[in-house]
């Protein structure tokens, strides 16, 4: 029997002011669009802003439904809209921000498993890693590539 350990890497910042202008703008867009999320059941408002290689920024927010499986997360709303409208432009960066009844979440919001898989598929599609900026009131994490959040992932080579 062999035991293995998986390590991930990410950068931690304390405030949005530590980001470069381009990344700070993307986080601001994610925060902005979170405020118009449709989340009447959870009151957990999530916004995502996707920057494409062509410079376009596509936003999305979570869309809840009383039949819970029918809703969709902000990350996939933005990512799918980007891929549908700009099918030849890889995603460079995705910023994600969230708010609850107390305001902005304290710790950086992280994508759910389904969103991580969708981000992986976009990386596979364009053969390029996607930077993730995970926004929180106390910290901001920057993750270079979804493999840092989805080790031992399932992709096209596993079929």
Residues assigned a catalytic role: 75
C-alpha span between 86 and 54 (Å, rounded) = 9
Closest listed residue to residue 151, CA positions, set 125, 113, 107: 113
Contact in structure between 27 and 18 (CB atoms under 8 Å) = no
**Cα 106 to Cα 136: distance, rounded to the nearest angstrom:** 5
Q: Which of 70, 82, 139, 149 is nearest to 115 (CA)?
A: 149
Select from 65, 52, 13, 61 the least CA-distant residue to 33: 61
Question: DSSP labels for 91-114?
Answer: EEEEEEEEEETTEE-SSPP---HH
Q: Which backbone phi and psi does 96 adopt, to 5 degrees? A: -130, 135
């Amino acid at each position: 029997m062999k035991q293995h350990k998986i390590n991930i890497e990410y950068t931690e910042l304390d405030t949005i002011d530590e980001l470069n202008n381009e990344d700070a703008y993307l986080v601001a867009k994610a925060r902005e669009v979170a405020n118009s999320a449709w989340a009447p059941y959870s009151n957990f408002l999530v916004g995502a802003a996707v920057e494409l290689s062509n410079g376009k920024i596509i936003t999305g927010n979570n869309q809840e439904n009383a039949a819970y499986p029918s809703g969709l997360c902000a990350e996939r709303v933005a990512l799918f809209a980007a891929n549908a409208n700009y099918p030849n432009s890889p995603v460079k960066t995705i910023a994600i921000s969230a708010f609850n009844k107390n305001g902005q979440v304290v710790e950086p919001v992280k994508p759910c498993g389904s969103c991580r898989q969708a981000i992986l598929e976009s990386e596979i599609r364009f053969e390029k890693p996607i930077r993730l900026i995970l926004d929180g009131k106390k910290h901001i994490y920057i993750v270079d590539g979804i493999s840092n959040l989805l080790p031992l992932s399932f992709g096209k080579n596993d079929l």
